[in-house]
Amino acid sequence: MSTTTDPDTRPDGFRLGMLINDTRYRSYTFQFIALVLLILGLGYLISNLLDNLARAGLNISWAFLGEPAGYDINQRPIEYTSQSTHARASMVGAINTLIVAFLACISATVIGVVAGVLRLSNNWIVSKLMSVYVEAFRNVPVLIWILIIFLAMSNALPQPRTFRGDDATSSMLFDAIAVTNRGVYIPSFVNGAGSLIFWIVVIASIVGVFWYRKYAKKVLYATGRMLPTFLPSLGILIVPGLLAYFILGRPVTLEYPELSGFNFKGGIHLRLSLIALWFALAIYTGAFIAENVRAGIQAVSKGQTEAAGALGLRPGRIMNLVILPQALRVIIPPLISQYLNITKNSSLAIAVGYMDITGTLGGITLNQTGRAIEAILLLMLFYLVVSLSISAIMNVYNNRMKLQER
């Protein structure tokens, strides 16, 4: 097609007037002018800002990032002490943001899908219960939920010292889990010799399960024979791991939390702040996702259900094999924005003292160094990068799920 559009490339070629008169160039001309104006406008704003800052004695400088932070952080996914730099403190905060956002996204999706499907249930009580859940959580600000959960837990749960002594009023669940008003302590893995092989086996079995299911599908499509999936999957998942565990001489052991001094020590400490934030974000956003799921399911025409029913599929299969795959096309785009909301809402963390990046870089660091503009710019950059990455990943997924036209 493009071969027919340029018959008039005359040798004398280009005259300046063509920038305005020639339709081929005119739009470029105007776009260029708009670009220059935009750059000038931005330049003016930025230089005005820098200028006013300079006159207030505040110059943009990033040197503070290299100075010792001086404060401690409770949840440290990476090595950090009060002598580490502000940059390191920001990194700890960034990872903490990602941790809570990741946990909340997964849980919100599970909650949302379950609640959305159940809301359409034929069981009156179940569907009404789900409506109540959706309306209650959607219509109260998430900050309130974060605070309610945090305060309820800190006031209602027992203090660590009530676990002590012969007249202890609280006790650990299964001697392994301690639920206190400072958070939940759970056992952690201690990796001994040979643990690497064990973990490789575990991961390989998980991959194996997926591979087996794919294989079963292929057999089904090719021959119409339905292989059993549940028991073999379970077997693939558990047996190799168990074998490896005993053959390698129990390379991985559990470390149980134990009361010592003021607090429990050992195991993994899920702090109250993390739990409250995670839980609040998950149930709040779950309510929105439930609505998306419901909308997605209802968007699939009823004829599909009836047709599948006429073919003799059971209701569970109809949902999983016929309805949900089609509904996903409607569900995924709004799901992306829910994930973005979770990430952004996680910046409310400071309300419960969870040290996310807003709490470290945008909170203590900003406050102790007074570098407000620098810190806020970095914060914006961080959230922008995270949000764009989530969008990009989800868009790839969305494209894969889109209607494949053959």
Contact residues for another protein, defined by CB under 8 A:
40, 43-44, 47-48, 51-52, 55-58, 70-74, 81-83, 151, 154-155, 159, 161, 181-182, 260-263, 265, 272-273, 350-351, 353, 355, 359, 363-364, 367-370, 372
Least distance (Å) between residue 191 CB and another protein: 23
- Cβ(331)–Cβ(290) below 8 Å: no
Residue recorded with tokens 């300046």 = 16
Among residues 84 and 109, whose Cβ is nearest to another protein? 84
From CA 27, how far away is CA 20, in angstroms rounded?
9
Give me the amino acid identity at 343.
Answer: T
Could you tell me which residues are beta bridge partners of residue 268?
Answer: 186
Among residues 67 and 135, whose Cβ is nearest to another protein? 67
From CA 174, how far away is CA 172, in angstroms rounded?
6
Among residues 131 and 162, whose Cβ is nearest to another protein? 162
Among residues 265 and 314, whose Cβ is nearest to another protein? 265
Among residues 285 and 369, whose Cβ is nearest to another protein? 369
Give me the amino acid identity at 122.
Answer: N
Angstrom CA distances, 6 to 9, 11, 26, 29, 61, stand at 7, 13, 16, 19, 53
Least distance (Å) between residue 67 CB and another protein: 10
Q: At what angle do helices 324-345 and 372-401 cross, to 10 degrees?
A: 180
First to last CA, the chain: 25
From CA 377, how far away is CA 381, in angstroms rounded?
6
Least distance (Å) between residue 368 CB and another protein: 7
Among residues 39 and 247, whose Cβ is nearest to another protein? 39
Nearest to 358 by CA among 368, 345, 349, 367: 349
From CA 140, how far away is CA 144, in angstroms rounded?
7
Number of alpha helices (DSSP H) and beta strands (DSSP E) in the chain: 14, 7
Least distance (Å) between residue 44 CB and another protein: 5
Among residues 253 and 367, whose Cβ is nearest to another protein? 367
- Cβ(216)–Cβ(296) below 8 Å: no
Least distance (Å) between residue 358 CB and another protein: 11
Least distance (Å) between residue 283 CB and another protein: 22
Burial class (CB in 10 A: 0-12, 13-18, 19+), 193: exposed
Among residues 182 and 294, whose Cβ is nearest to another protein? 182
Residues composing the chain: 406
Least distance (Å) between residue 182 CB and another protein: 6
Would the CA dihedral through 351, 352, 358, 359 be positive or negative? positive
Least distance (Å) between residue 86 CB and another protein: 13
Nearest to 268 by CA among 250, 254, 279, 252: 254
Burial class (CB in 10 A: 0-12, 13-18, 19+), 141: exposed
What is the DSSP-derived secondary structure letter of residue 3?
A: G
Least distance (Å) between residue 85 CB and another protein: 14
Least distance (Å) between residue 56 CB and another protein: 7
Locate all alpha helices (DSSP H) within 18-123, ordered by sequence.
18-21, 23-55, 86-119
